[in-house]
């Protein structure tokens, strides 16, 4: 397991929340969720695009 302190020291992103993306459809149903423990890691944008139908 990775310690949050190690991630903060390694990335320089201290006191930053985790990075997350949520996609909801027009009815308000969540159709995609992705959370990254390391805030320097970006979400998978291809999956986000598929979820929104782009």
1-51 pLDDT per residue, tens: 455 555 556 666 566 677 889 999 999 999 999 998 887 889 999 999 999
Tell me how many domains the chain contains.
1
Q: Whole-angstrom Cα distance, residue 16 to residue 1?
A: 19
Domain residue limits at 8: 4-52
Which pLDDT does position 4 carry in this prediction? 54
CA dihedral 47, 43, 34, 11 (to 10 degrees): 160
The DSSP bridge pattern shows strands 30-36 and 19-24 to be: antiparallel
Report field, pTM of the whole predicted structure over 0.75 = no
Helices and strands in the chain, H and E counts: 2, 2
Residue 52 confidence (pLDDT) above 50: yes
- Do residues 13 and 39 lie in contact, with contact meaning Cβ atoms separated by under 8 Å? yes
């Amino acid at each position: 397991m990775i310690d949050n302190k190690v991630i903060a020291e390694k990335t320089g992103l201290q006191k930053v929340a985790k990075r997350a993306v949520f996609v909801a459809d027009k009815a308000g149903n969540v159709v995609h969720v992705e959370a990254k423990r390391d805030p320097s890691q970006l979400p998978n944008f291809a999956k986000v695009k598929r979820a929104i139908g782009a």
